[in-house]
Amino acid sequence: MELNSVFYANLTILLFLRKVYSLQTLNKISHKLFDGGMWLAISFLIEPTTILFTVLLYISIFLNKQQNYQTLLIPFLGFVAPVFLYYTYCFWTDTTDNFFRLWDVSTIIDIQILKEASYIFTLGFVGVFTVLSILLKTPKTLAVLNQFRKNWILILSHFTIALLVAFLVPNKTGAELIFVGFPAAIILANALELFQKKWFADIFILVFVIASIVNFFI
């Protein structure tokens, strides 16, 4: 993992996600939506593929039944503000090519790193356990009409979008896996709650620690 643009985009996405998941509370909805759009815009300026997280914000709005013309428009205004300021800066410095390059979707996806053994091991190990956790937890969660059901749908949507963003990021270095790490960790933690024996959770965590050490030598 390198401290590149993808890493810093992840930091701003975490601030964006804080707003997305807090929409289940009714206080200061407009502020949360504007801030969410703003943080997403900053992340977009750092790493354009993160614009796909816009879908997650609107999924959260609909799941929490906050949709009206204001809540649908406010995130857009929050997104436009930093983007417009950046365009103004580029226009002033005669570097508008940098701005229009953000919208270039013709970038060839770099998949060379996907051939590396350590990368395949990480994706495969975490992926298998995450999929198993989803299969174990989802039926029981969807069978009950409560707030956690909405949160579970939101986290699954988050995981799916994060996978897509990580795959589309050009010039992969390993830092893009952090996008997937947050939702995957929540999914795995919820799956552990299905098991009543504490020793099982201890073994589960120990396996992940051992796997991380093994991955270092691959």
pLDDT greater than 90 at residue 16: yes
- For the entire predicted model, the pTM comes to 0.85
pLDDT greater than 80 at residue 102: yes
Q: Is there a contact between 33 and 25 (Cβ–Cβ < 8 Å)?
A: no
pLDDT greater than 80 at residue 117: no
CB count in 10 Å sphere of residue 84: 11
Taking the C-alpha atoms of 120, 123, 127 and 128 in order, what is their torsion angle to the nearest 10 degrees? 30
pLDDT attached to residue 109? 61
The Cα–Cα gap between 97 and 15 comes to 28
At residue 122, the 3 state secondary structure works out as helix
pLDDT band for 79, please (50, 70, 90 cuts).
very high
The Cα–Cα gap between 103 and 106 comes to 9
Query: What are the tokens at 190?
Result: 């919820």
User: From the DSSP assignment, how many helices (H) and strands (E) are in the chain?
Assistant: 9, 0
CB proximity list for 208: less than 8 A, separation 6 or greater? none
Q: What is the 3-state secondary structure (H, E, C) of 44-58?
A: HHHCHHHHHHHHHHH
Residues 142-156: tens digit of each pLDDT: 887 777 888 899 999
CB count in 10 Å sphere of residue 52: 15
The Cα–Cα gap between 38 and 130 comes to 30
Query: What are the tokens at 196?
Result: 């009543």
% of the chain with per-residue pLDDT over 70: 89
Residues 38-70: tens digit of each pLDDT: 999 999 999 999 999 999 999 999 988 777 888
Per-residue buried b or exposed e for 194-218, using 16+ beta carbons within 10 Å of the residue's own CB: eeeeeeeeeeeeeeeeeeeeeeeee
| Best CA proximity match to 4, nearest among 144, 123, 113 | 113
CA triple 102-107-110, angle to 5 deg: 125
Residue with the bigger pLDDT between 150 and 175: it is 150
Mean pLDDT of the chain: 84
Q: Is there a contact between 113 and 4 (Cβ–Cβ < 8 Å)?
A: no
